Structure 1
Amino acid sequence: MRVSAKSDYALRALIEIAQHVEDGPLSAEAIGKAQDIPHGFLQAILADLRRAGIVMSQRGKAGGWRLGRDAEEITVADVVRAVDGPLVSVYGIRPESVEYNGAAQVLQPVWIAARSSLREVFEEVTLAALAVGELPPSVEARTHDDDAWRPH
């Protein structure tokens, strides 16, 4: 899986919002400045997140962006799906819907297994955990494997 700039920026923006939840809504300008996210790109991302119910906008002098639900209820998977669609797709099609012929049929379970593996991490890590800089133990443990850090 390739993490898109859109997903990365969305998560960075949400972490910023979550860290300031007690301060009230945060302006797009403040989010963008804090995380070096281009304003136009950030606006498009926030619109996607709003459609998914992850953030809410508030108009007015004290307006800005706030979480649409508790940070404990928002996962990395939710965010990626909101801005980029399914976690794993093959030519834009969900892996369970892809049809292969003959010997290539073995590919479908590979894509299904890859999606399952991503879900194990992305659905376990919440925005609340990211906002305080702590990962769930099972995810943290994956980072202790030296091979995880090596490019292949």
Structure 2
Amino acid sequence: MRISARADYAVRAALQLVASQDDGPLKAKVISDAQDIPYKFLESILNDMRRSGLVLSRRGGNGGYRLARPPESISIADVIRSVDGPLVSVRGVRPPDLSYTGPAESLLPLWIALRSNVREILEGVSLADVASGQLPPAVSALTDSPAAWVNP
């Protein structure tokens, strides 16, 4: 599975909004500078997040962006879907819409299982969890093995 730059930037921007939520709306330039995200790219990402109902925007001198809901109610999956669409697809197709024949038939349940596990992790972790540094125990446990940190 690959996390796109767009998804990574979206999650980082959302976390910046969590960190600054008590300061009022945050300008895109402030988020861009704080997270080292290209400004024009960030504007597009924030617009996608606004259209998805994750952030609110206000124009003007006191304007900027803020989360539309409490960070506890926004999952990492919500943020990724807002900018990239489905969490898992195969050649741009959602697994249930695929069909295979012959020796490849068992690929479909494999892709479904992968999607299920990705959903379980990303839907089970909120922006508040990441911002606080307190990932859910089941997610933290997955990082306990040294093999989890090594590329085969």
Please, what TM-score do these two structures have when normalized by structure 1? 0.97
Q: CA deviation at 1:35?
A: 0.3
Equivalent residue of 1:66, what SS?
strand
Tell me which residue corresponds to 1:73: 73
Task: Write out per-residue CA displacement over residues 33-86 of structure 1, whole angstroms, 9 at most, x where no aligned residue.
Answer: 000000000001001101110001011111000001110111011111111111
Q: How does 1:96-115 map to 2 (within 5 A)?
A: 96-115=96-115
Tell me which residue corresponds to 1:19: 19
Q: How does 1:1-152 map to 2 (within 5 A)?
A: 1-152=1-152
Structure 2: stretches of 5+ with no match in the other structure: none
Taking every aligned residue pair, what percent have the same amino acid on both sides?
53
Q: CA deviation at 1:27?
A: 0.3
The two structures, once aligned, show a CA RMSD in angstroms of 0.8
> 1:102 is aligned with what amino acid?
G
Task: Write out per-residue CA displacement over residues 123-151 of structure 1, whole angstroms, 9 at most, x where no aligned residue.
Answer: 11100111122211111111101111110
Structure 1: stretches of 5+ with no match in the other structure: none
Runs in 1 of length 4+ with deviation above 3 angstroms?
A: none
Equivalent residue of 1:131, what SS?
helix
Equivalenced residue count is: 152
